[in-house]
């Protein structure tokens, strides 16, 4: 029994999408709902990025990658694929406590947390091993970008919240209704990592922290064709659209310096992993172009606000001088 009347606790069990009677009785109908990739192999999904959304934070950003698969109207209420929605906020730089030892460079702390409703299976409020691993990967990608020597004995905290995460497989396979294995293999985490790197870099730039360059995330994958004979390399894969993913790679890429600050590979990459890494860097360059435009718009908006405040101050001074004269 809940003794705390000020809080309504969520259900302890997991949540799943409803499966209707028609889907259960007609297996062919379930397969007709399977999403397919309509983009080209080198075509990326559209990205929505916005900065300066959290007033109390030094810098913030919001990233959203909507689904690219359209569902026929009236067939089902379940979306074919999930979209990626991530927020990031920067706390600091701020002085370390007096009891902390002296640090000649900036101390970076990265926290990644999934919202309880971010995936089809409800997640707990306490960080699990997957979230801690993602935090380590994102921190590694950002550590090689920030110029920490300019902030001695200071710390900065990057808080990333995954509002909606990319799925590891199609929900029909995960429920046992498809021909796939249903386990997913954790392919969706690579897209989540790339999105976390991009949104965290945009938030750091919005906070005005000195960096050598902006880092962006990108993902590439190797999939099997429907006949199962040929292997194809694709950029920005959506795991729900592909039944057989052989390997995937996520990178944190500095385009200006042509450097990779983070690398995560999964699966059988074969004898030539460089081709897969190169594809991931191309996807990261596409995310970087969007990030540059958004940050430039944010800087222009800040300068316009500052100029308007300064002009208002000058007008008030002139009015005071005229009244005193």
Distance between CA atoms of residues 19 and 27, nearest Å: 12
pLDDT score, position 77: 64
Residue 81's pLDDT is: 74
**Which pLDDT score, from 0 to 100, does residue 304 have?**
79
pLDDT mean over 226-252? 86
- Can you give the pLDDT at residue 34? 77
**Closest among 195, 236, 194, 201 to 215, alpha carbons compared:** 201
Res. 175: pLDDT tops 90: no
Model pLDDT for residues 254-266, shown as the tens digit of each residue: 988 889 999 999 8
Picking from 161, 285, 292, 268, the residue whose alpha carbon sits closest to that of residue 218 is 285
Q: What is the mean pLDDT of residues 73-85?
A: 70
Cβ burial of 204 (10 Å; 0-12, 13-18, 19+) is buried
The 3-class SS string of 259-285 reads: EEEEEEEEECCCCCHHHHHHHHHHHHH
According to the model, what pLDDT value does residue 268 have?
84
| 183-204 average pLDDT score | 87
Domains and their CATH numbers in the chain: 41-70+79-172+186-304 (3.30.230.70)
Question: What pLDDT was estimated at residue 181?
Answer: 39
Q: What is the pLDDT of residues 90-109, one digit of tens each?
A: 998 999 888 888 888 889 99
Mean pLDDT in residue range 163-169: 85
**pLDDT for position 315:** 60
Q: What is the pLDDT of residue 288?
A: 92
The pLDDT value given to residue 68: 64
Query: What average pLDDT does range 206-226 have in this prediction?
Result: 90
Q: Bigger pLDDT: 311 or 208?
A: 208
Distance of CA 235 to the CA centre of its chain: 16
Mean pLDDT within 211-231? 87
Q: Looking at residue 100, what is its pLDDT?
A: 84
Output the pLDDT for position 278. Answer: 92
pLDDT higher than threshold 90 for residue 61: yes
More confident residue, 232 or 271: 232
pTM attached to this predicted model: 0.82
Query: Would you say 264 and 130 are in contact if contact means Cβ atoms under 8 Å apart?
Result: no
Average pLDDT over residues 247-255: 93
pLDDT band at 198 (very low <50, low <70, confident <90, very high): very high
Q: How confident is the model at residue 32 (pLDDT cuts 50, 70, 90)?
A: confident
Is the predicted pLDDT of residue 82 greater than 70, yes or no?
yes
> Who has greater pLDDT, 85 or 67?
85
Provide the pLDDT confidence category of residue 183 given band limits of 50, 70 and 90: very low
Percent of the chain predicted with pLDDT > 70: 76
In the chain, which residue ranges form alpha helices assigned H by DSSP? 21-25, 27-32, 129-143, 171-174, 188-207, 273-324
Angle between the N-to-C axes of helices 188-207 and 129-143, in degrees from 0 to 180, rounded to the nearest 10: 50
| Calpha distance 29→122 (Å, rounded) | 27
Question: Looking at the predicted structure, is the pLDDT value of residue 320 above 60?
Answer: no
């Amino acid at each position: 029994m809940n003794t705390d009347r000020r809080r309504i606790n969520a259900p302890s069990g997991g949540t799943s999408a409803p499966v209707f009677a028609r889907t259960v009785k007609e297996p062919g109908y379930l397969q007709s709902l399977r999403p397919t990739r309509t983009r080209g192999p080198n075509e990326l999904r559209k990205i929505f990025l916005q900065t300066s959304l959290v007033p109390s934070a030094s810098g913030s950003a919001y990233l959203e990658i909507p689904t690219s698969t359209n569902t026929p109207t009236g067939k089902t209420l379940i979306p074919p694929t999930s979209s990626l929605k991530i927020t990031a906020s920067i706390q600091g730089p701020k002085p370390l406590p007096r009891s902390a030892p002296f640090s000649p460079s900036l101390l970076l702390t990265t926290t990644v947390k999934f919202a309880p409703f971010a995936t089809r299976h409800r997640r707990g409020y306490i960080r699990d091993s997957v979230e801690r691993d993602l935090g380590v990967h994102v921190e590694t990608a950002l550590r090689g970008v920030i110029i920490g020597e300019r902030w001695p004995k200071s710390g900065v905290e990057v808080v990333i919240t995954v509002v909606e995460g990319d799925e590891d497989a199609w929900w029909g396979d995960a429920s046992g209704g498809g021909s796939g294995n249903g386990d997913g293999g954790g392919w969706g985490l690579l897209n989540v990592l790339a999105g976390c790197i991009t949104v965290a870099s945009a938030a750091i730039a919005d906070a005005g922290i000195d960096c050598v360059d902006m880092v962006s995330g990108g993902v590439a994958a190797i999939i099997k064709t429907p006949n199962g004979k040929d292997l194809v390399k694709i950029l920005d894969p959506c795991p729900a659209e592909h039944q057989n993913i052989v390997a995937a790679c996520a990178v944190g890429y500095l385009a200006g310096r042509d450097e990779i600050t983070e690398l995560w590979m999964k699966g059988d990459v074969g004898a030539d992993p460089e081709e897969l890494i190169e594809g991931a860097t191309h996807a990261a360059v596409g995310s970087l172009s969007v990030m540059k435009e958004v940050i430039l718009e944010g800087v222009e908006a800040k300068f316009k606000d500052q100029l308007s405040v300064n002009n208002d101050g000058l007008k008030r001074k002139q009015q005071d001088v005229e009244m005193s004269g």
